[in-house]
Amino acid sequence: MTKFVATFLILISVYCLQVAPVTVHQPPEQIAQIKKGTDACEKEIHVNKELILKARKGDFSDDSTLKEYVFCAVQKHKFVVDGKIIKDAIDKQVIIGTGDKDFATETYNKCYQEKDNLVAPITIHSPPEQLEMFRKVIDACLKEIGVKEELVLKARKGDFSEDSTLKEYVFCTAKKYKYVVNGKLDKEAIDREIIIATGDKDLATKTYNKCYQEKDTLVNSIFEMLKCYSKDIPLPVI
């Protein structure tokens, strides 16, 4: 399986394992290990705590940050290593908690389904100076454009309104990031930010080719492009 495992593959696996009707007796060290991983992911992803609590009861939202959080957790637990599902690692944890090897195998076979249409979130490692630059640009454009903060917050979760002020705000950020210079799109500037955050040059090129489509105006072109980028590479640029 490729590096960018489908998100719902992970969600389905975790969901099935959590709600399976079996008595679980987790030793303290396993509970501590799980807590350490989930605590770290809560800090990294900044997912709404309520969504996590609901998910633990089997109520999984389609919220993008929850998907990122789940994917982060399975990586911390070593269920995913180098972009591959590690069945033995999942089975091991289930066996520790239940003492039932056959149950572990049966549940994995039931729950694992490979999905191709939804890409798992890319791991982002933005250095502090890049994050600080993003913050300054965002603050400046919020003041300049006067867009409703609610629209921006929704856009950060993948819900982009067609509101004209939101489009102006996104275009403002693109200009301040130097993605647009003298009315022209600078592909190299966009690629550079992706490479800084992900270390993956091929990903930068592939995503640009996928996401950039010329629209009737440059404002709309940038808006649609960053909307597309946000699905695959959740850089905090807006």
pLDDT in tens, 125-140: 677 888 888 889 999 9
Per-residue pLDDT at 149 exceeds 80 = yes
Domain coordinates in residue numbering, the chain: 7-111, 128-232
What are the backbone dihedrals phi and psi of residue 37, each rounded to the nearest 5 degrees, phi first? -70, -45
Structural fold of domain 7-111? Recoverin; domain 1 (1.10.238)
DSSP class of residue 120 equals: P
Bridge partners of residue 185, in order along the sequence: 180
pLDDT in tens, 7-33: 444 544 554 545 445 566 677 887 888
The CATH number fitting domain 128-232, selected from 3.20.20.150, 2.40.10.340, 1.10.569.10, 1.10.238.20: 1.10.238.20
CA-nearest of 109, 119, 100 to 207 is 119
CA-nearest of 12, 227, 210, 40 to 120 is 12
Chain-wide mean pLDDT for the chain?
A: 79
DSSP class of residue 121 equals: P
pTM over 0.85, yes/no = no
pLDDT given at position 143: 92
pLDDT in tens, 49-106: 888 888 877 787 777 778 778 878 888 888 877 667 788 888 888 888 788 888 878 8
Q: How confident is the model at residue 164 (pLDDT cuts 50, 70, 90)?
A: very high
Are 107 and 20 in contact by the 8 Å Cβ rule? The answer is: yes
